[in-house]
Structure 1
Amino acid sequence: MNLIEGTLIEHYAKLWSYREEIRRINPCLTDKMDVQCMPDGLTYFSKFYVCFANVKFGWLEGCRKVLGIDGCFLKGVCNGELLCAMGRDANNHIFLVAWAIVCVENKEKWMWFLELLRDDLELGMGTGFTLMSDQHKGLMEAVKDVLPCVEHRQCARHIVANLKKRFAGAIFENLLWKACNATTP
């Protein structure tokens, strides 16, 4: 498998070349890569953030002021987590705004991601924007610290999953989805 996929060291060594190539092609992009230098002289990957300039301007000029943010596990040769910020364009299609790769999803990493996103999209304190996310505790705390004025909402699918843990039966799920789809209070 190492002959086919390569070793982790080879994969992470390619990040520097990848970063330089996307900088060459997209001179106005925002990218941040952090590494940890250990006392034994070895350097380890920590986190990597990318927001392409054209995507940023596209979101600012043509998308709704709603962002969905979430993280997912990377499975395969290289482990970690992928953090994403997504919007919806005028045709209701998904519009990937920014992404980051981190070692673990926690409050510190979410704060780092949200601070970079806030600066890229000129969100300020979050006034006039809506953020949708799951109920990850570190993410919810980071949003309160970085974007205190943003309208922060939780994804209904995650609420349903949590509801199923406490209440058995499809009736509760059906009632929640009816409430979510209601157009009046």
Structure 2
Amino acid sequence: MIAPARSGETAADQKILELACDHLRRFGPRRTTIVGIAEAAGMSHANVYRYFPSKEALFESVTSLWLKPLEEELRVIVQGQDPAYDKLERALSALQRAYREKRDADPILFRLLCDAIEQGGGIARKHRNKVQSEIQAIVEEGIASGAFRIQDRRRAMALVFDLAHRFIQPVSIALDRGVSLAEMEFRAGRVIAVIQRSLTFGDPDFDM
């Protein structure tokens, strides 16, 4: 269900987005059209284009809509009072959980994000940048507080994303649909623990 309109959003935006989500789930991206959405909304397709200049822009807005709560959750984690060690675990766990739940509960809309990633779409880049920014804030906090021994921010970020890739990258999560939830949670927990230990106690492959 679409949340109530926020600042800058109109009732028309919300109606169009709700119908777009419905059509995507019923017909898929290829058969979902601006004309069909406009007819369902009781408006001309030209009016829909006033809010969304193309079908691609509309699909990006649909994807952005379901990603917002995840991005806000990450921001809350970063701004919390927990140690960086715990924040990192919570952030990585939140990412894998949100993607996995969307994949299983709403596969068509999840596929839109995967397609955007594979095609280098704007919404994928924006989301990736937001995720990286929040993880970077945690890493920098850990370095500044002395909680993380790896002092090179770039290398610390590479370690996090290289090791966690399978569990926080939507396309990889889509490919792991056949792996049980229990198995994936066990594997992800083990990898997160390795990341935490490497950052906290140092890794011999890194210059301290």
TM range (shorter): 0.3 to 0.5
Q: TM-score scaled to structure 2, two decimals?
A: 0.31
Greater relative contact order, per chain length (Cα 8 Å cut-off, separation 6+): 2
Q: Quick check: which one's helix share is greater?
A: 2
Name whichever structure is richer in strand by fraction: 1
Relative to the length of structure 1, the TM-score reads 0.34
